[in-house]
Amino acid sequence: MKINTSYYEADVLSTVIMSKDMPRSRSVMNKLSTDMFASKMNKAIYRALQEALESGDAVDIISVSERMNSLTDTGYNNLLFVTEMIGECVCSEASLISYAKRVRQAHYLRDAASRVQSAGALIEDLSDISKVGDLASEIESLFSGLMLETNDQKPVKFKDVAKDYINDLQKKAQGEVDEFIVKTHMDGFDELTGGFNDTDLIIIGGTPGSGKTEKVISLITGITSEKGAGALMFSLEMSNHQLVERSISGAAGMPVSSLRNPQGLNSNGWGLIEQGLGRVVNNEFYMTDQVGLSVNDIITIATRHKQDHPNTKVFAVDYAGLLEIDGSKRHDIALGEVSRKLKLAAKEIKTPFILLTQLNSKNIDARPLADRHPRASDIKDSSRLEDAADLILLCYREKVYSDNAPEISETILAKARHAIKGSIYYERFKNGHFIEDRQDLLKNELDNYRGSKSKLNGGDKSEF
């Protein structure tokens, strides 16, 4: 093969070493392998880079050179070689995926050429025409598994996709689990939303006191109630102890304050705590309260966690306002990049991300009480957060605004790619926790309250 693609190999390796977007680099490198690099030195650099990315260590010229020294004797001054290679390359992060594709294409072509050469040798060596059948089998096996990657993805015929879809639909109808759908095991919620797709970005928004964090904990508790199903929550606001406290108190049906003041607990209280702990203690619920994380940090940690725990069904980030963002960019644009990157990460590692965000209380409070149900446009700091979202859930409790209102929470589907926009999921809100109940009962209770309020105000709903 006369085509020389060694410079593409060098471009891939140089760009990864100089990259500031490690999650993206990790994703690209995971689609390459050592044997895809033709050069001995490039193979050594790739192995050093892979080892550094997998261990989460720093990636730079010196660290890569040192790893090369420990992995193999290349016969070169590795530091000088890597430095010169980077100096001669473009190092364009925007073209990294394209560089990597060229490396794979060249590898597959070399592999094809080698197989053709072997097939030709077999034909040349054939001395008995009666053995043609055996020769054909040998040649066929030679080309088994041959891959050739083109530049473009071939269009797929509707009929072919529909066939697979109908097969999946029949399996669902027979009660078989859809591996691409994450269920919360909250029947009313799953019926309303259909569950989360494995590539979804879900935004949960609410004003202070509406129960955003409690909502995501209840969702995680439901998801991880399935045997083996895991979750990882990035808690930028609460400590790990506070998350555990909320989870146990929720499972026990007790106020968080009871666990914070255990001196007043009687035997019944301790019994409830023991029961609550028993419900959640074995769930595969992981958490980290590390502060100062950027969205790139979160994606890196999530990707590594998914590799270590393949049954992870969801990642959650609490919350957008506490993420480290690029201070050189306008705040709304920077937050828009957060949602875009999380969406891309969800597609890449096939695991949905839940991102919590605050709503603009001033905008909501300025509206009449009857019109204070939150909207997607109330998302604080950036409407751009909603652009990449597949599902936006907004938490609302009328009790926050009216002492006489029933303790019922409404979760509004403000955006829903796979459900009905504007749908509402109702739950009771007791002792600071969400409790499932029949949807028709809860809706009727709220409707009756609002109807009575309307009559008290002479039918004018603008005052409530």
- Amino acid symbol at 63: S
| Backbone dihedral angles phi then psi of residue 41, each to the nearest 5 degrees | -70, -40
Q: Is residue 164 part of a domain?
A: no
Task: Quote the pLDDT of residue 252.
Answer: 87
Q: Is residue 176 part of a domain?
A: no
**319 preceded by cis ω (within 30°)?**
yes
- Strand order of the β-sheet with 433-435 is 284-288, 230-235, 312-318, 353-358, 201-206, 391-397, 408-416, 424-430, 433-435
Question: Are 354 and 401 part of one and the same domain?
Answer: yes
Q: How far apart are CA 192 and CA 418, in angstroms?
A: 10
pTM beyond 0.75: the answer is: no
Q: Is residue 170 part of a domain?
A: no
Question: Are 70 and 209 part of one and the same domain?
Answer: no
Q: Is residue 206 part of a domain?
A: yes
Task: Quote the pLDDT of residue 212.
Answer: 87
CA–CA distance from 122 to each of 110, 113, 117 (Å)?
A: 19, 14, 9
Question: Are 220 and 138 part of one and the same domain?
Answer: no
Task: Quote the pLDDT of residue 457.
Answer: 62
Q: Is residue 167 part of a domain?
A: no
CATH code at 146?
A: 1.10.860.10
Q: How far is CA 451 from the centre of its chain?
A: 42
Block residue for tokens 């089998």? 137
CATH code at 341?
A: 3.40.50.300
Domain span at residue 124 reads 1-152
C-alpha triplet 213, 218, 221: angle, nearest 5°: 125
Q: How far is CA 207 from the centre of its chain?
A: 24
Q: Count of domains in the chain?
A: 2
Question: Are 117 and 203 part of one and the same domain?
Answer: no
Task: Quote the pLDDT of residue 142.
Answer: 67
Question: Are 412 and 263 part of one and the same domain?
Answer: yes
CA–CA distance from 102 to each of 82, 87, 172 (Å)?
A: 21, 21, 40
Query: For every one of its 464 residues, what pLDDT tens digit does the chain have, with 9 covering 90 and above?
Result: 566 667 788 888 998 888 877 777 887 888 888 888 988 889 999 998 888 887 777 788 998 888 888 887 777 888 999 898 888 886 777 778 878 888 888 888 888 888 888 888 888 887 877 777 777 777 777 666 555 565 455 566 677 767 777 777 777 677 666 667 888 888 889 989 988 998 999 999 988 878 888 999 999 999 998 888 999 999 988 888 888 888 888 888 888 888 888 888 888 989 998 888 888 888 899 989 888 888 888 888 888 888 888 899 999 998 888 888 766 677 778 788 888 889 988 988 889 999 999 888 888 888 887 788 888 888 876 667 778 889 999 999 888 888 888 999 999 999 988 889 999 999 999 888 889 999 999 999 998 988 887 666 654 444 33
